[in-house]
Structure 1
C-alpha cells in the first residue's frame, strides 16, 4: 500500500486535535490584564499540549519519509497512536481547568505515556513492512534512547502527580524539550 492516504488522514486528525484544544481557551470578558490571569492554567496546558501534538506530527512525518510502503498492521498501529493522541484535548482541558490538580496531572501523564507506548508498535510495523531489521528505517531508529527516557519520565511523573503535580508537569515539559528538535537519525540516513 502507498503511504499517502495514511499521511493525509493522520495530518487531518492531528489538525482537528489542535483545533479542539484551542476551543478550550475561552474569550475573557473585560478589557484589562486582570481578566487574563484566571486563564493562565488553561493557556499553559494548551501550550504544552500544542507542543506535544506538534512533536508527534513532526516525528510522524520523519518516520514516514523513511518508509516506502505501509501494511494493514501499520494502518492499525497508526490508528492506535491517533486514538491516544485524540484524548489529548480532554486531558489538556481537565488539567488546565483544574489548575494542575493531582488527578488531572496524573491522567495527562497517562495519556502522554500511552502515546509514547503506541509509537513503538507503529515503528516496528513500519520496519517490518519496509525490509525488516536491515531496512533504512530500522538502522535510523537504532536503540531509540529518547523513547525509553520519555517512557521512564512519564511513569515517574504519573506517580509524582499525586504528591507534587508541578514536578510532574516539569518532567512532562522536559520530555517535550528532549523531543522538540526533530529526530535527525532518520534524516541523516535518508541523505546517505
Structure 2
C-alpha cells in the first residue's frame, strides 16, 4: 500500500484537531478589549499547541513522502501518534482554563512526550522496513532532535511542579529545534 492514503487520513485528523482547539473559545460578553484579558491563558495555550501540531504536520509529511511501501505496523504506529496528538485539544483547554496550574501543565507535557515517543517509534519502524534505501536513514538515526526531545518534555512535565517558567523554557527549546527545518531533510527530498 502506498503512503498517500495514510498521509491524507493523517492530514484530515490534524486539521480536525486544530479545528477542535479553536472551538474551545467562547465569545466574551462585551465589545471592549479588556473582555479578552481572561482569555489570554487560553490564547497562549492555543498558540503553543497550534505551532506544535504544525510542526508535527510538517515533519510527518516529510517522513511519509519518502515511504515506498508500508505495512500494518507502520499504520498502527501512525494511529498511535494520532491518538496522542488528538488529546492535545483537551490538555490545551484544561491548561488554559486553569491558568497553567501544575497538574494540567504537567499532563499537557506528558501528552507531548507520548506523542514524541510515538513519532520516534514510527520513524524507527519506517527505517526498519526501508533499511539503507531510505534517504533519511542517516539523518534520522543520528538526529540530535530525536535524542533531546523526550528528555526535554520529561523535564518540562517535572518542572511544572517546581518552576513553571523553566518548564515552558524546555518546551520552547523543543519547539525551536523542530520549528527550524533540517536542511539535510530538504536535500534528501530533492534527491527523490
Q: Is the Cα–Cα contact under 8 Å of residues 67 and 137 in structure 1 kept in the other structure?
A: no
Q: Which residue of 1 aligns with 2:73?
A: 73
Q: Which residue of 2 aligns with 1:173?
A: 172
Q: Is the Cα–Cα contact under 8 Å of residues 66 and 134 in structure 2 kept in the other structure?
A: no
Task: Tell me the SS of whatever aligns to 1:36.
Answer: helix
> Normalized against structure 2, the TM-score is what?
0.94
Q: Is the Cα–Cα contact under 8 Å of residues 141 and 185 in structure 1 kept in the other structure?
A: no
Residues 164, 173 of structure 1: CA spacing in aligned structure 2 closer, same or farther, 3 A cutoff?
A: same
Deviation at 1:187, TM superposition (A): 1.9
Cα deviation digits, residues 4-26 of structure 1 (max 9, x gap): 11001000000010001111122
Q: Which residue of 2 aligns with 1:10?
A: 10
Structure 1: how far apart are the matches of 2:107 and 2:78? 22
Q: Which residue of 2 aligns with 1:146?
A: 145
Structure 2: how far apart are the matches of 1:17 and 1:86? 6
Deviates more, 1:46-55 or 1:160-169: 160-169
Q: Which runs of 4+ in 1 moved over 6 A?
A: none
User: Aligned pair count?
Assistant: 191
Q: Which residue of 1 aligns with 2:182?
A: 183
> Normalized against structure 1, the TM-score is what?
0.94
Deviation at 1:134, TM superposition (A): 4.7
Structure 1: how far apart are the matches of 2:115 and 2:183? 20
Structure 1: how far apart are the matches of 2:72 and 2:32? 54
Q: Which residue of 1 aligns with 2:55?
A: 55
Structure 1: how far apart are the matches of 2:154 and 2:184? 26
Q: CA RMSD in A?
A: 1.3
User: Which 5+ residue runs of structure 1 have no aligned equivalent?
Assistant: none
Q: Which residue of 2 aligns with 1:29?
A: 29
User: Which 5+ residue runs of structure 2 have no aligned equivalent?
Assistant: none
